[in-house]
Amino acid sequence: MTILQGEKLLVGTFPPIPERKSKQLQMHGDTRQDPWYWLRDWENPKVKEHLHAENEYTQNALKDTEKLQNQLFEELKLKINDEERSVPVKDGPFWYYSEIKKSQQYTVYKRSKSEALQSTETILDVNELAESKPYCEIGCCVNSPDHRYLAFSVDENGEEEYTIYIKDLTTRELLPDVIEGATECFEWTNDSRGFYYCKLDKNHRPKWVYSHALGSEVKKDTLIYEEKDSRFFVSLDKSESSRFIYICLEGNNTSEWHYMPADSIDQSLKMIEKRAQDHEYDVSDHEDQFIIRTNIDAIDYRIVTTPIEKPDRAFWKDLIPHKHGRLIECYSVYQNYLVIQDKQNGQPGILIYHFNTQESEVISFDEEVFDVSIQGHRDYHCSILRYCYQTLRNPPSTYDFDMNTKVKVLKKKLQIPDAKFDESNYLTKRVFATSHDGVKIPVSIVMHKDTQNKEDKPLILYGYGAYGVSLETDFNTACFPLLDRGFTIALPHTRGGMDLGQEWYLSGKMLQKKNTFIDYLCVAEHLIATGYTQKGKIIGCGGSAGGMLMGVVANEKPDLFASIIAQVPFVDVLTTMLDESLPLTTSEYNEWGNPSDKTYYDYIKSYSPYDNVRKQPYPAMLVTAGISDTRVTYWEPAKWVVKLRDCNTGNKPILLHMNFDSGHGGASGRYDYLKEIAMELAFAILSLKF
């Protein structure tokens, strides 16, 4: 293999060593040295050479695991069906669904005029789109209201920049209307003669909303809205009633929604409620009222109504009042019902409000650790609520609940084709660890029943804790090869997530961000103290902001871990948050703070993983990245790995796997994705022997 050293290429078996180049970063009288800053220069051929050398080194380091990787890949394949079909959804005269066949990497979208799918029509085969493409991801795929056309958005390189195509389902031909540089979302008008879509600016931020009339030149599309504040992103939504199309502006924990009639394009645009700092809301409609979820005077949200002709806050009235500790996560509107997905004490639930009787009912669940989510519907007038229920050990089950008759019907339970799989072989539980300030941190755990009494138990500790995202306790087939090998898997619901409501999130962001990291480490020590694992037997794992978490805990208490798997990790926090040209920087000031303010600069610098790498022995690490990633740019993990090796006084390997065909989400094909998981699982198993 080849490695870089200064200006020369050398042959050897050591990690690639990129040259140092002096680079000083100055702010607030503080100077930081970053000798590998130059790795962000993609036009420099030495950057590509270095990254390819990193992959070669990783492949060589994991060569002895090739047989294990293949075995794990086959085990993972046994956990997914070669042929899988979604539950059909009724829309007008058709039942729409998707399926995937044996040996196919991608989904095929279909429809039928009968729920029994007696005669079917293929409307889009993504496998055909993906031919000869290393990456192919569908953003949205939506039929027009008259069912003649299909609009779909495609990302062909992992950069989350989409091209929108229109297919005539009568002629089976693509229209010449091709829209590039768009986001994934769009919304059809009710007359099926056009749609609205969002476009990205040069910094990859969703900034504009345009309308497009079918058959017209794209360059003549009408600009409907332009967002001039770089902290806000635009998106689109259409109400369940199909009466309105909404333009949604989100950023810095602040919202602003506009609406227009959905009957045809180029309608007049009106505002619901002007943006105000830290006011988050979202909107739908029902008859002559808007239905609004808001956090005004309601830290965990409430549902209010207001007349459509008087949408501003002065006219808002409670429909579902705020209840402290009950987080209203989302809702769905039907003609006769309002369905709310909430969370109390970290447990999800479903509440159904009857518009006619003004009464509410709750759908209850028995498991200690589970996940439930309401599914979207296309028939505003129906009484059927579809939801999905699953646990860490139980595969997803899709139910239809008739809100009128109270009859529940199981529509589908995901079947695991592995004959050896038996969900009764696994145990789930929830425990609590005490953090530094006395706060109890919930931890969801799954293990094989034969593992619980063993002393030598390795443990996967998967963490996230950011952006107010809850760490869901859903079924994950990637867990079972490890569970069957005696691993325990634990999910700490640290502050910074929304697991226990808005206050839980607020206490793990901005100038309280360190609570996330401390919570995670306290959970690790609690699980050691209570016999779930041993010191040095923990494999830390997290991606994106969870990768930041991995970077911090590796710096703070490396001796707790056998290894760390950091997926697309956000680790050069201070430098990135000072670079306003990057897509997410300005919109995330309210998550991490704006380091142009010295208070936030000093605080971010005190934990930023890249800035706090130091001379000490580090655990084995596998770091993954995507060359097209616009959320966490490739150079962050690339620089971090080099600096870790430079400071590592131990002898455990630190590896980088750069995916040259993808972005933030990894490989797009289902089998290619399984191969990436198999590599990570093999590394976790191998790391216990280092």
From the list 191, 130, 187, the residue with the least C-alpha distance to 164 is 187
Residues 657 and 536 in one domain: yes
> 383, 416, 449: which is the final residue of a domain?
416
| Amino acid at the residue 436 | H
| Tens digit of each residue's pLDDT (9 = 90 or more) over 199-215 | 999 999 999 999 999 99
Which one is catalytic: 211, 435, 507, 544? 544
Asked if 402 and 265 sit in the same domain, the reply is no
Checking if the pLDDT of 332 tops 50, the result is yes
408 and 450 share one domain:
no
28 is catalytic: no
Residue 605 lies in a domain: yes
Does residue 164 share a domain with residue 287? Answer: yes
Catalytic residue among 50, 286, 377, 664: 664
Residue 606: per-residue pLDDT: 98
* Tokens 């145990």 sit on residue: 427
Segment 137-171, tens digit of pLDDT: 999 999 999 999 999 999 998 999 999 999 999 99
* Cβ 401 vs Cβ 385: under 8 Å: yes
How sure is the predictor about 633, in pLDDT bands with cuts at 50, 70 and 90? very high
Looking at residue 8, its pLDDT comes to 32
CATH (domain of 623): 3.40.50.1820
Candidate from 266-270, 332-336, 607-611 with smallest mean pLDDT? 266-270
Mean pLDDT for the stretch of residues 578-598: 92
Check residue 12 and give its pLDDT.
39
pLDDT band at 665 (very low <50, low <70, confident <90, very high): confident
Which CATH number fits the domain that encloses residue 258? 2.130.10.120
> CB neighbours (10 Å) of residue 357?
8
Q: Is residue 51 part of a domain?
A: no
Query: What 3-state class would DSSP assign to 34?
Result: coil
What Cα–Cα distance (Å) separates residue 596 from each residue in 315, 335, 427, 593, 603? 39, 49, 48, 9, 12
| 362 lies in the same domain as 437 | no
Domain boundary (416, 449, 470) is at 416
629 is catalytic: yes
Nearest by Cα to 18 from 640, 524, 574: 640
Query: What pLDDT, in 10s, does the model give residues 362-394?
Result: 998 988 899 999 998 899 999 999 999 999 999
**Element (DSSP H or E) covering residue 249:** strand 244-251
pLDDT of residue 558: 98
- pTM check: above 0.85: yes
Q: Could you tell me what percentage of the chain is helix, strand and coil, using 3-state DSSP and rounding each to the nearest 5? A: 20, 35, 40
Do 408 and 454 lie in one domain? The reply is no
**One domain, residues 184 and 255:** yes
Buried residues in 293-313 as b, exposed as e (16+ CB within 10 A) = bbbbebbbbbbbbbebeebeb
What are residue 671's phi and psi, to 5 degrees?
Answer: -75, -35
Question: How many CA within 13 A on the CB side of residue 455?
Answer: 0
Residues 407 and 431 in one domain: no
Task: Show the domain range for 305.
Answer: 133-322
One domain for residues 432 and 377? no
- Determine, yes or no, domain membership for 114: no
CA distance 640 to 493: 26
- Does the annotation mark 544 as catalytic? yes
pLDDT in tens, 448-504: 999 987 878 999 999 999 999 999 999 999 999 999 999 999 999 999 999 999 999
Among 277, 194, 186, 301, residue whose Cα is nearest residue 234: 186
| Same domain flag for 235 and 296 | yes
Residues 623 and 565 in one domain: yes
Instruction: Tell which of 379, 397, 416 closes a domain.
Output: 416
Residue 117 belongs to a domain: no
User: Is residue 651 domain-resident?
Assistant: yes
Q: Over 60: is that where the pLDDT of 7 sits?
A: no
Marked catalytic residue, from 285, 519, 611, 629 = 629
How many structural domains does the chain have?
A: 3
Task: Report pLDDT for 668.
Answer: 78
C-alpha span between 569 and 550 (Å, rounded): 8
- Closest to 474 in 3D by CA, of 385, 377, 362, 388: 388
In angstroms, the CA 443 to CA 435 distance is 12
> Is 93 within a domain?
no
